[in-house]
Structure 1
Amino acid sequence: MFSYNKIQSLNELELSLYNYIMRNSEKVIYMRIRELAKEAHVSTTTILRFCKKLDCEGFSEFKVKFKMYLDQSGGKGLADNTSMIIDFLKKAQGKEYIEKIDLVCDELNKANTIIFIGIGFSGIISKYAARYLSAIGRNSIYIDDPFYPLNLKYSENYVAMAFSVSGETPTAIEHINRLKKKGCKIISITNNEDSTIAKISDINIGYYVQQEKTEEDDITTQIPALYIIEIIGKKLYKNYKG
Protein backbone atom coordinates (compact mmCIF):
# COMPACT_ATOMS: atom_id res chain seq x y z
CA MET A 1 0.00 0.00 0.00
CA PHE A 2 2.82 2.37 0.90
CA SER A 3 5.30 1.73 -1.87
CA TYR A 4 8.48 3.78 -2.28
CA ASN A 5 7.03 5.62 -5.30
CA LYS A 6 3.83 6.54 -3.49
CA ILE A 7 5.60 7.81 -0.38
CA GLN A 8 8.11 9.75 -2.45
CA SER A 9 5.25 11.48 -4.28
CA LEU A 10 3.93 13.00 -1.04
CA ASN A 11 4.60 16.66 -0.29
CA GLU A 12 5.65 17.97 3.13
CA LEU A 13 2.14 18.19 4.59
CA GLU A 14 1.17 14.79 3.22
CA LEU A 15 4.33 13.26 4.69
CA SER A 16 3.45 14.65 8.11
CA LEU A 17 -0.02 13.09 7.68
CA TYR A 18 1.56 9.77 6.67
CA ASN A 19 3.79 9.84 9.77
CA TYR A 20 0.79 10.56 12.00
CA ILE A 21 -1.24 7.72 10.46
CA MET A 22 1.60 5.21 10.88
CA ARG A 23 2.12 6.23 14.51
CA ASN A 24 -1.62 6.02 15.29
CA SER A 25 -2.71 3.24 12.95
CA GLU A 26 -5.05 1.50 15.41
CA LYS A 27 -7.25 4.55 15.98
CA VAL A 28 -7.08 6.13 12.51
CA ILE A 29 -9.26 3.37 11.02
CA TYR A 30 -12.09 4.48 13.35
CA MET A 31 -11.70 8.24 12.89
CA ARG A 32 -13.80 10.56 10.77
CA ILE A 33 -11.99 12.74 8.28
CA ARG A 34 -12.51 15.91 10.32
CA GLU A 35 -11.19 14.19 13.46
CA LEU A 36 -8.05 13.11 11.61
CA ALA A 37 -7.60 16.58 10.15
CA LYS A 38 -7.75 18.11 13.63
CA GLU A 39 -5.44 15.54 15.23
CA ALA A 40 -2.88 15.58 12.40
CA HIS A 41 -3.05 19.39 11.97
CA VAL A 42 -3.87 19.24 8.26
CA SER A 43 -6.91 20.16 6.20
CA THR A 44 -9.51 17.70 4.93
CA THR A 45 -8.35 18.66 1.42
CA THR A 46 -4.85 17.44 2.26
CA ILE A 47 -6.29 14.15 3.51
CA LEU A 48 -8.32 13.64 0.33
CA ARG A 49 -5.30 14.46 -1.83
CA PHE A 50 -3.25 12.00 0.24
CA CYS A 51 -5.91 9.30 -0.30
CA LYS A 52 -5.95 9.93 -4.04
CA LYS A 53 -2.17 9.50 -4.25
CA LEU A 54 -2.64 6.12 -2.57
CA ASP A 55 -5.20 5.12 -5.23
CA CYS A 56 -8.21 5.62 -2.97
CA GLU A 57 -11.29 7.55 -4.10
CA GLY A 58 -11.86 8.98 -0.64
CA PHE A 59 -11.13 8.62 3.07
CA SER A 60 -13.65 5.81 3.54
CA GLU A 61 -11.95 3.67 0.90
CA PHE A 62 -8.56 4.51 2.43
CA LYS A 63 -9.69 3.28 5.86
CA VAL A 64 -10.92 -0.01 4.37
CA LYS A 65 -7.66 -0.58 2.49
CA PHE A 66 -5.59 0.54 5.46
CA LYS A 67 -7.37 -1.90 7.78
CA MET A 68 -6.70 -4.71 5.30
CA TYR A 69 -3.06 -3.59 5.18
CA LEU A 70 -2.82 -3.74 8.99
CA ASP A 71 -4.52 -7.14 9.11
CA GLN A 72 -2.11 -8.53 6.55
CA SER A 73 0.89 -7.32 8.56
CA GLY A 74 -0.56 -8.57 11.82
CA GLY A 75 -2.00 -5.27 13.12
CA LYS A 76 0.29 -4.28 15.96
CA GLY A 77 2.50 -7.25 15.22
CA LEU A 78 5.69 -6.88 13.25
CA ALA A 79 5.37 -6.81 9.49
CA ASP A 80 7.20 -9.04 7.03
CA ASN A 81 9.87 -6.71 5.67
CA THR A 82 10.53 -8.72 2.51
CA SER A 83 8.26 -6.87 0.09
CA MET A 84 9.24 -3.36 1.17
CA ILE A 85 12.95 -4.25 1.09
CA ILE A 86 12.56 -5.64 -2.42
CA ASP A 87 10.70 -2.47 -3.37
CA PHE A 88 13.50 -0.33 -1.94
CA LEU A 89 16.18 -2.31 -3.77
CA LYS A 90 14.33 -1.86 -7.06
CA LYS A 91 14.02 1.89 -6.56
CA ALA A 92 17.68 2.11 -5.57
CA GLN A 93 18.53 1.11 -9.14
CA GLY A 94 16.71 4.15 -10.54
CA LYS A 95 18.54 7.04 -12.19
CA GLU A 96 17.63 9.62 -9.52
CA TYR A 97 18.86 7.40 -6.69
CA ILE A 98 22.10 6.51 -8.48
CA GLU A 99 22.79 10.19 -9.19
CA LYS A 100 22.39 11.01 -5.50
CA ILE A 101 24.75 8.18 -4.51
CA ASP A 102 27.30 9.53 -7.01
CA LEU A 103 26.92 13.01 -5.51
CA VAL A 104 27.67 11.60 -2.05
CA CYS A 105 30.71 9.73 -3.40
CA ASP A 106 32.05 12.96 -4.93
CA GLU A 107 31.86 14.70 -1.55
CA LEU A 108 33.38 11.80 0.37
CA ASN A 109 36.20 11.51 -2.13
CA LYS A 110 37.22 15.11 -1.41
CA ALA A 111 37.19 14.59 2.36
CA ASN A 112 40.34 14.27 4.45
CA THR A 113 38.29 12.66 7.19
CA ILE A 114 34.79 11.15 7.23
CA ILE A 115 32.96 11.35 10.56
CA PHE A 116 30.07 8.95 11.16
CA ILE A 117 27.40 9.66 13.76
CA GLY A 118 24.31 7.79 14.94
CA ILE A 119 22.44 6.81 18.09
CA GLY A 120 21.06 3.40 19.09
CA PHE A 121 20.69 1.01 16.16
CA SER A 122 21.77 3.83 13.85
CA GLY A 123 24.90 4.10 15.98
CA ILE A 124 25.70 0.46 15.23
CA ILE A 125 25.26 1.18 11.51
CA SER A 126 27.56 4.22 11.86
CA LYS A 127 30.26 2.10 13.50
CA TYR A 128 29.94 -0.43 10.72
CA ALA A 129 30.12 2.33 8.10
CA ALA A 130 33.31 3.77 9.63
CA ARG A 131 34.89 0.32 9.68
CA TYR A 132 33.74 -0.43 6.12
CA LEU A 133 35.14 2.77 4.63
CA SER A 134 38.35 2.41 6.64
CA ALA A 135 38.76 -1.01 5.03
CA ILE A 136 38.81 0.59 1.57
CA GLY A 137 41.44 3.12 2.59
CA ARG A 138 39.34 6.09 3.69
CA ASN A 139 40.16 7.95 6.91
CA SER A 140 36.93 7.33 8.83
CA ILE A 141 35.94 7.66 12.48
CA TYR A 142 32.77 7.12 14.51
CA ILE A 143 31.71 9.50 17.28
CA ASP A 144 28.89 8.73 19.71
CA ASP A 145 29.74 11.24 22.45
CA PRO A 146 28.09 14.65 21.90
CA PHE A 147 30.80 16.22 24.09
CA TYR A 148 33.70 14.64 22.23
CA PRO A 149 36.29 17.41 21.57
CA LEU A 150 36.35 18.18 17.86
CA ASN A 151 39.65 19.75 16.85
CA LEU A 152 38.66 20.37 13.25
CA LYS A 153 40.50 22.84 11.04
CA TYR A 154 38.73 24.86 8.35
CA SER A 155 41.73 24.25 6.10
CA GLU A 156 40.89 20.54 5.98
CA ASN A 157 37.88 19.00 4.31
CA TYR A 158 35.70 17.09 6.78
CA VAL A 159 32.46 15.38 5.84
CA ALA A 160 30.03 13.92 8.38
CA MET A 161 27.53 11.17 7.64
CA ALA A 162 24.59 10.88 10.01
CA PHE A 163 22.31 7.84 10.22
CA SER A 164 18.84 8.22 11.74
CA VAL A 165 15.58 6.43 10.98
CA SER A 166 13.29 9.16 12.33
CA GLY A 167 15.63 12.03 11.54
CA GLU A 168 14.50 13.62 14.80
CA THR A 169 16.94 12.18 17.36
CA PRO A 170 17.95 15.14 19.61
CA THR A 171 21.50 13.87 20.28
CA ALA A 172 22.15 13.31 16.58
CA ILE A 173 20.84 16.81 15.78
CA GLU A 174 23.16 18.21 18.45
CA HIS A 175 26.10 16.36 16.87
CA ILE A 176 25.24 17.79 13.46
CA ASN A 177 24.90 21.35 14.71
CA ARG A 178 28.32 21.18 16.38
CA LEU A 179 29.89 19.80 13.21
CA LYS A 180 28.23 22.44 11.03
CA LYS A 181 29.68 25.16 13.26
CA LYS A 182 33.11 23.66 12.58
CA GLY A 183 32.53 24.01 8.83
CA CYS A 184 31.81 20.32 8.30
CA LYS A 185 29.65 19.28 5.34
CA ILE A 186 26.72 17.06 6.38
CA ILE A 187 25.34 14.02 4.57
CA SER A 188 22.43 12.17 6.17
CA ILE A 189 20.74 8.82 5.61
CA THR A 190 17.19 8.90 6.99
CA ASN A 191 13.90 7.09 6.45
CA ASN A 192 12.33 10.18 4.88
CA GLU A 193 13.41 13.53 3.49
CA ASP A 194 10.97 15.57 5.58
CA SER A 195 12.77 15.15 8.92
CA THR A 196 14.79 17.76 10.78
CA ILE A 197 18.10 16.00 10.13
CA ALA A 198 17.33 15.70 6.42
CA LYS A 199 16.49 19.40 6.20
CA ILE A 200 19.67 20.61 7.93
CA SER A 201 21.91 18.35 5.83
CA ASP A 202 23.73 19.37 2.67
CA ILE A 203 22.77 16.06 1.05
CA ASN A 204 20.10 13.61 2.23
CA ILE A 205 19.23 10.13 1.04
CA GLY A 206 15.82 8.89 2.14
CA TYR A 207 14.86 5.24 1.83
CA TYR A 208 11.17 5.20 2.86
CA VAL A 209 10.28 1.94 4.56
CA GLN A 210 7.53 1.33 7.08
CA GLN A 211 8.64 2.43 10.53
CA GLU A 212 8.19 -0.23 13.20
CA LYS A 213 8.32 0.11 16.96
CA THR A 214 7.95 -2.02 20.04
CA GLU A 215 6.78 -0.45 23.28
CA GLU A 216 10.34 0.66 24.03
CA ASP A 217 12.39 0.75 20.83
CA ASP A 218 12.35 1.67 17.16
CA ILE A 219 13.13 -1.57 15.30
CA THR A 220 12.67 -0.35 11.75
CA THR A 221 14.78 -2.41 9.35
CA GLN A 222 18.32 -1.07 8.83
CA ILE A 223 18.88 -3.03 5.60
CA PRO A 224 18.45 0.06 3.35
CA ALA A 225 21.06 1.98 5.38
CA LEU A 226 23.47 -0.97 5.16
CA TYR A 227 22.89 -1.26 1.43
CA ILE A 228 23.50 2.46 0.89
CA ILE A 229 26.80 2.52 2.79
CA GLU A 230 28.07 -0.61 1.04
CA ILE A 231 27.18 0.75 -2.40
CA ILE A 232 28.93 4.01 -1.52
CA GLY A 233 31.99 2.14 -0.25
CA LYS A 234 32.26 -0.05 -3.34
CA LYS A 235 31.86 2.91 -5.69
CA LEU A 236 34.53 4.84 -3.83
CA TYR A 237 36.90 1.88 -4.03
CA LYS A 238 36.20 1.16 -7.70
CA ASN A 239 35.86 4.63 -9.20
CA TYR A 240 37.84 6.96 -6.96
CA LYS A 241 41.16 5.25 -6.42
CA GLY A 242 44.02 7.67 -5.98
Structure 2
Amino acid sequence: MMILTALQKQIGFNDSERALADYILNNREKVLDYSIQSLSQNTFTSTSTIVRFCRKIGLKGYKDFKIKWSAELQKEYNAITNVNPDFPFTEDDSYKEIQKKILELFTESLQKTHSINSNESMEEAVDLLLKARRIGIFAYGDTYLPALNFQNKMMKIDMPVQLSVLPGENRHLAANFGKEDCAIILSYSGESKNNYFITNILKKNHACIIVVSANPDSHIASLADLILPVAKSESKSVKLSTFSSQIAIDYILNTLYGCIFVANYEKNQAKRIESETLLLNDRFDS
Protein backbone atom coordinates (compact mmCIF):
# COMPACT_ATOMS: atom_id res chain seq x y z
CA MET A 1 0.00 0.00 0.00
CA MET A 2 1.22 3.49 -0.81
CA ILE A 3 2.11 5.70 2.16
CA LEU A 4 -0.39 8.38 1.09
CA THR A 5 -3.22 5.85 0.96
CA ALA A 6 -2.29 4.49 4.38
CA LEU A 7 -2.18 7.99 5.87
CA GLN A 8 -5.55 8.89 4.39
CA LYS A 9 -7.42 5.66 5.28
CA GLN A 10 -5.85 5.35 8.77
CA ILE A 11 -7.01 1.75 9.12
CA GLY A 12 -6.24 0.38 12.58
CA PHE A 13 -4.66 3.62 13.81
CA ASN A 14 -4.96 4.68 17.44
CA ASP A 15 -5.47 8.32 18.43
CA SER A 16 -1.74 9.15 18.49
CA GLU A 17 -1.20 7.55 15.08
CA ARG A 18 -4.18 9.39 13.56
CA ALA A 19 -2.81 12.69 14.86
CA LEU A 20 0.61 11.81 13.43
CA ALA A 21 -0.90 10.89 10.04
CA ASP A 22 -2.91 14.13 9.91
CA TYR A 23 0.17 16.18 10.71
CA ILE A 24 2.17 14.53 7.92
CA LEU A 25 -0.67 15.06 5.42
CA ASN A 26 -0.84 18.76 6.34
CA ASN A 27 2.95 19.22 6.21
CA ARG A 28 3.91 16.96 3.30
CA GLU A 29 7.18 18.60 2.25
CA LYS A 30 8.11 20.04 5.62
CA VAL A 31 8.41 16.67 7.36
CA LEU A 32 11.11 15.64 4.89
CA ASP A 33 13.41 18.15 6.60
CA TYR A 34 12.56 16.89 10.09
CA SER A 35 14.68 14.55 12.16
CA ILE A 36 12.71 11.98 14.13
CA GLN A 37 13.23 14.19 17.22
CA SER A 38 11.79 17.25 15.43
CA LEU A 39 8.74 15.31 14.27
CA SER A 40 8.30 13.97 17.79
CA GLN A 41 8.33 17.48 19.27
CA ASN A 42 5.94 18.90 16.65
CA THR A 43 3.41 16.09 17.02
CA PHE A 44 3.73 15.63 20.80
CA THR A 45 4.56 11.96 20.33
CA SER A 46 7.54 9.85 21.34
CA THR A 47 10.18 8.69 18.88
CA SER A 48 9.25 5.08 19.64
CA THR A 49 5.64 5.83 18.62
CA ILE A 50 6.91 7.22 15.29
CA VAL A 51 9.01 4.10 14.65
CA ARG A 52 6.02 1.82 15.44
CA PHE A 53 3.85 3.99 13.19
CA CYS A 54 6.30 3.61 10.30
CA ARG A 55 6.37 -0.16 10.73
CA LYS A 56 2.57 -0.31 10.87
CA ILE A 57 2.38 1.16 7.37
CA GLY A 58 4.93 -1.34 6.06
CA LEU A 59 8.21 0.55 6.46
CA LYS A 60 11.45 -0.35 8.24
CA GLY A 61 11.62 2.87 10.23
CA TYR A 62 11.67 6.65 10.02
CA LYS A 63 14.62 6.87 7.61
CA ASP A 64 12.86 4.46 5.25
CA PHE A 65 9.70 6.56 5.59
CA LYS A 66 11.49 9.78 4.52
CA ILE A 67 13.08 8.14 1.48
CA LYS A 68 9.87 6.55 0.23
CA TRP A 69 7.66 9.51 1.16
CA SER A 70 9.92 11.84 -0.84
CA ALA A 71 9.76 9.53 -3.88
CA GLU A 72 5.99 9.22 -3.56
CA LEU A 73 5.49 12.97 -3.36
CA GLN A 74 7.68 13.51 -6.42
CA LYS A 75 5.69 10.93 -8.35
CA GLU A 76 2.45 12.64 -7.32
CA TYR A 77 3.70 16.07 -8.41
CA ASN A 78 4.86 14.70 -11.76
CA ALA A 79 1.42 13.18 -12.31
CA ILE A 80 -0.41 16.53 -12.00
CA THR A 81 -2.18 17.08 -15.31
CA ASN A 82 -5.06 18.99 -16.85
CA VAL A 83 -4.43 22.19 -14.94
CA ASN A 84 -7.33 24.63 -15.17
CA PRO A 85 -5.83 27.75 -16.82
CA ASP A 86 -8.42 30.02 -15.19
CA PHE A 87 -7.94 28.66 -11.65
CA PRO A 88 -4.71 26.62 -11.76
CA PHE A 89 -4.42 26.07 -8.02
CA THR A 90 -6.60 25.86 -4.93
CA GLU A 91 -6.29 26.65 -1.25
CA ASP A 92 -5.48 23.00 -0.57
CA ASP A 93 -2.40 22.93 -2.84
CA SER A 94 1.05 22.90 -1.30
CA TYR A 95 3.77 25.26 -2.53
CA LYS A 96 5.35 22.35 -4.41
CA GLU A 97 2.07 21.55 -6.16
CA ILE A 98 1.63 25.20 -7.13
CA GLN A 99 5.15 25.25 -8.59
CA LYS A 100 4.37 22.15 -10.63
CA LYS A 101 1.01 23.44 -11.87
CA ILE A 102 2.38 26.81 -12.97
CA LEU A 103 5.25 25.07 -14.74
CA GLU A 104 2.83 22.76 -16.55
CA LEU A 105 0.54 25.66 -17.42
CA PHE A 106 3.43 27.66 -18.91
CA THR A 107 4.87 24.66 -20.75
CA GLU A 108 1.54 23.73 -22.33
CA SER A 109 0.81 27.31 -23.38
CA LEU A 110 4.26 27.74 -24.92
CA GLN A 111 4.19 24.42 -26.75
CA LYS A 112 0.73 25.05 -28.20
CA THR A 113 1.65 28.58 -29.27
CA HIS A 114 4.85 27.32 -30.88
CA SER A 115 3.00 24.60 -32.78
CA ILE A 116 0.44 26.96 -34.38
CA ASN A 117 2.98 29.51 -35.64
CA SER A 118 4.75 28.83 -38.92
CA ASN A 119 8.23 29.93 -40.00
CA GLU A 120 6.62 31.75 -42.91
CA SER A 121 4.39 33.93 -40.73
CA MET A 122 7.30 34.79 -38.43
CA GLU A 123 9.51 35.65 -41.42
CA GLU A 124 6.77 37.87 -42.83
CA ALA A 125 6.32 39.65 -39.50
CA VAL A 126 10.06 40.30 -39.19
CA ASP A 127 10.19 41.57 -42.77
CA LEU A 128 7.30 43.97 -42.15
CA LEU A 129 8.90 45.32 -38.98
CA LEU A 130 12.34 45.78 -40.54
CA LYS A 131 10.87 47.68 -43.50
CA ALA A 132 8.68 49.93 -41.37
CA ARG A 133 9.49 53.60 -40.91
CA ARG A 134 8.03 53.45 -37.41
CA ILE A 135 6.92 50.59 -35.18
CA GLY A 136 4.15 50.90 -32.63
CA ILE A 137 2.71 48.40 -30.20
CA PHE A 138 -0.81 48.74 -28.86
CA ALA A 139 -1.88 46.92 -25.71
CA TYR A 140 -4.55 47.22 -23.07
CA GLY A 141 -4.75 45.82 -19.55
CA ASP A 142 -2.66 42.71 -18.85
CA THR A 143 -1.11 42.70 -22.34
CA TYR A 144 0.61 45.99 -21.54
CA LEU A 145 3.38 44.22 -19.59
CA PRO A 146 4.55 42.01 -22.50
CA ALA A 147 4.36 45.13 -24.73
CA LEU A 148 6.57 47.07 -22.33
CA ASN A 149 9.04 44.19 -22.20
CA PHE A 150 9.21 44.11 -26.02
CA GLN A 151 9.73 47.86 -26.23
CA ASN A 152 12.58 47.62 -23.73
CA LYS A 153 14.38 44.90 -25.69
CA MET A 154 13.97 46.67 -29.03
CA MET A 155 15.27 49.94 -27.61
CA LYS A 156 18.54 48.20 -26.70
CA ILE A 157 19.24 47.35 -30.34
CA ASP A 158 18.36 50.88 -31.50
CA MET A 159 14.92 49.96 -32.86
CA PRO A 160 12.56 52.24 -30.94
CA VAL A 161 9.01 50.97 -30.53
CA GLN A 162 6.32 53.51 -29.69
CA LEU A 163 4.02 52.57 -26.82
CA SER A 164 1.56 54.99 -25.27
CA VAL A 165 1.78 55.68 -21.56
CA LEU A 166 -1.21 57.85 -20.72
CA PRO A 167 -4.82 56.59 -21.00
CA GLY A 168 -6.33 57.59 -24.35
CA GLU A 169 -2.94 58.52 -25.80
CA ASN A 170 -2.86 55.33 -27.88
CA ARG A 171 -5.65 56.70 -30.09
CA HIS A 172 -3.57 59.75 -30.94
CA LEU A 173 -0.57 57.53 -31.59
CA ALA A 174 -2.63 55.37 -33.97
CA ALA A 175 -3.91 58.46 -35.78
CA ASN A 176 -0.31 59.47 -36.56
CA PHE A 177 0.58 56.14 -38.17
CA GLY A 178 0.50 55.81 -41.94
CA LYS A 179 1.20 53.38 -44.79
CA GLU A 180 4.96 53.27 -44.10
CA ASP A 181 4.44 52.31 -40.46
CA CYS A 182 3.79 48.98 -38.76
CA ALA A 183 1.61 48.42 -35.70
CA ILE A 184 1.47 45.36 -33.44
CA ILE A 185 -1.91 44.86 -31.76
CA LEU A 186 -2.01 42.63 -28.68
CA SER A 187 -5.48 41.28 -27.98
CA TYR A 188 -5.94 37.81 -26.53
CA SER A 189 -9.70 37.73 -27.17
CA GLY A 190 -9.52 39.81 -30.34
CA GLU A 191 -12.71 41.56 -29.26
CA SER A 192 -11.47 44.41 -27.05
CA LYS A 193 -13.51 47.53 -27.89
CA ASN A 194 -10.55 49.80 -27.19
CA ASN A 195 -8.17 47.84 -29.42
CA TYR A 196 -10.82 47.41 -32.12
CA PHE A 197 -11.28 51.19 -32.27
CA ILE A 198 -7.50 51.69 -32.57
CA THR A 199 -7.16 48.97 -35.22
CA ASN A 200 -9.85 50.68 -37.28
CA ILE A 201 -7.92 53.96 -37.14
CA LEU A 202 -4.75 52.19 -38.26
CA LYS A 203 -6.63 50.44 -41.07
CA LYS A 204 -8.08 53.72 -42.36
CA ASN A 205 -4.58 55.21 -42.37
CA HIS A 206 -3.29 52.19 -44.36
CA ALA A 207 -0.75 51.26 -41.69
CA CYS A 208 0.52 47.69 -41.69
CA ILE A 209 -1.16 45.73 -38.88
CA ILE A 210 0.15 42.63 -37.11
CA VAL A 211 -2.33 41.14 -34.65
CA VAL A 212 -1.28 38.79 -31.84
CA SER A 213 -4.42 36.99 -30.68
CA ALA A 214 -5.91 33.68 -29.59
CA ASN A 215 -8.94 34.32 -31.77
CA PRO A 216 -8.02 34.54 -35.50
CA ASP A 217 -11.73 34.86 -36.38
CA SER A 218 -12.25 37.93 -34.19
CA HIS A 219 -13.20 41.44 -35.34
CA ILE A 220 -9.70 42.77 -34.62
CA ALA A 221 -8.01 39.89 -36.45
CA SER A 222 -10.21 40.52 -39.49
CA LEU A 223 -8.47 43.89 -39.94
CA ALA A 224 -4.95 42.45 -39.77
CA ASP A 225 -2.41 42.17 -42.55
CA LEU A 226 -0.84 39.33 -40.58
CA ILE A 227 -2.01 37.27 -37.60
CA LEU A 228 0.39 35.66 -35.13
CA PRO A 229 -1.80 33.26 -33.13
CA VAL A 230 -1.35 32.30 -29.49
CA ALA A 231 -2.78 29.27 -27.73
CA LYS A 232 -6.40 29.65 -26.65
CA SER A 233 -6.88 28.27 -23.17
CA GLU A 234 -8.34 30.90 -20.84
CA SER A 235 -12.05 31.68 -20.78
CA LYS A 236 -13.59 35.13 -21.09
CA SER A 237 -15.14 34.85 -17.63
CA VAL A 238 -13.58 35.43 -14.21
CA LYS A 239 -10.08 34.01 -13.79
CA LEU A 240 -7.42 33.95 -11.10
CA SER A 241 -4.86 35.60 -13.38
CA THR A 242 -3.82 35.73 -17.03
CA PHE A 243 -1.00 33.19 -16.69
CA SER A 244 -1.39 31.38 -20.02
CA SER A 245 -2.20 34.37 -22.19
CA GLN A 246 0.62 36.56 -20.87
CA ILE A 247 3.28 33.89 -21.27
CA ALA A 248 2.04 33.06 -24.79
CA ILE A 249 2.04 36.69 -25.93
CA ASP A 250 5.43 37.23 -24.28
CA TYR A 251 6.72 34.20 -26.19
CA ILE A 252 5.59 35.62 -29.54
CA LEU A 253 7.16 39.01 -28.84
CA ASN A 254 10.40 37.48 -27.57
CA THR A 255 10.56 35.33 -30.70
CA LEU A 256 10.03 38.40 -32.87
CA TYR A 257 12.83 40.18 -31.02
CA GLY A 258 15.13 37.17 -31.40
CA CYS A 259 14.47 36.92 -35.14
CA ILE A 260 14.98 40.66 -35.64
CA PHE A 261 18.22 40.48 -33.67
CA VAL A 262 19.51 37.63 -35.84
CA ALA A 263 18.50 39.43 -39.07
CA ASN A 264 21.31 41.95 -38.33
CA TYR A 265 23.25 39.88 -35.84
CA GLU A 266 26.69 41.49 -36.01
CA LYS A 267 25.29 45.03 -35.90
CA ASN A 268 22.93 44.25 -33.00
CA GLN A 269 25.54 42.28 -31.09
CA ALA A 270 28.00 45.18 -31.44
CA LYS A 271 25.30 47.60 -30.27
CA ARG A 272 24.56 45.51 -27.16
CA ILE A 273 28.26 45.13 -26.31
CA GLU A 274 28.84 48.85 -26.79
CA SER A 275 25.89 49.76 -24.57
CA GLU A 276 26.87 47.32 -21.83
CA THR A 277 30.49 48.53 -21.94
CA LEU A 278 29.38 52.17 -21.57
CA LEU A 279 27.14 51.28 -18.64
CA LEU A 280 29.87 49.25 -16.98
CA ASN A 281 32.41 52.05 -17.34
CA ASP A 282 29.90 54.54 -15.99
CA ARG A 283 29.39 52.40 -12.88
CA PHE A 284 33.14 52.24 -12.22
CA ASP A 285 33.62 56.00 -12.88
CA SER A 286 30.90 56.92 -10.43
Scaled by the length of structure 1, what TM-score is found? Answer: 0.60
Larger Rg, first or second structure (1 or 2)? 2
SS in 1 for 2:260: helix
**Structure 1 regions of 5+ residues with no counterpart?**
1-70
Letter in 2 for 1:78: P
C-alpha distance in 1 between matches for 2:190 and 2:124? 20
Partners of 1:165 and 1:191 within 8 A in 2: yes
Q: Deviations along 1:86-113, whole A, 9 cap, x unmatched?
A: 2443455559522211110011010111
**Structure 2 regions of 5+ residues with no counterpart?**
1-80, 90-100, 268-286
Taking only the aligned residue pairs, the percentage that are identical comes to 19
Query: 2:36 — aligned with what?
Result: none
C-alpha distance in 2 between matches for 1:183 and 1:74? 40
Query: 2:87 — aligned with what?
Result: 77
The 5 A counterparts of 1:183-202 are 183-202=206-225
The 5 A counterparts of 1:45-60 are none
Please, which of 252, 268, 277 is the counterpart of residue 228 of structure 1?
252
Query: 1:151 — aligned with what?
Result: 176
Query: 2:34 — aligned with what?
Result: none
The 5 A counterparts of 1:27-66 are none
Query: 1:206 — aligned with what?
Result: 229
C-alpha distance in 2 between matches for 1:190 and 1:132? 21
Query: 1:171 — aligned with what?
Result: 194
Partners of 2:106 and 2:243 within 8 A in 1: no
Report the RMSD for the aligned CA atoms in angstroms. Answer: 3.0
SS in 2 for 1:148: helix
Letter in 2 for 1:224: A
C-alpha distance in 1 between matches for 2:85 and 2:248? 23
CA distance change for structure 1 residues 84 and 209 in 2, over 3 Å: closer, same or farther? farther
Q: Deviations along 1:30-74, whole A, 9 cap, x unmatched?
A: xxxxxxxxxxxxxxxxxxxxxxxxxxxxxxxxxxxxxxxxx9546
Please, which of 110, 114, 121 is the counterpart of residue 142 of structure 2?
121
Runs of 4 or more above 4 Å deviation: 91-96
1:219 aligns with 2:229: no
Query: 2:107 — aligned with what?
Result: 86
SS in 1 for 2:191: coil
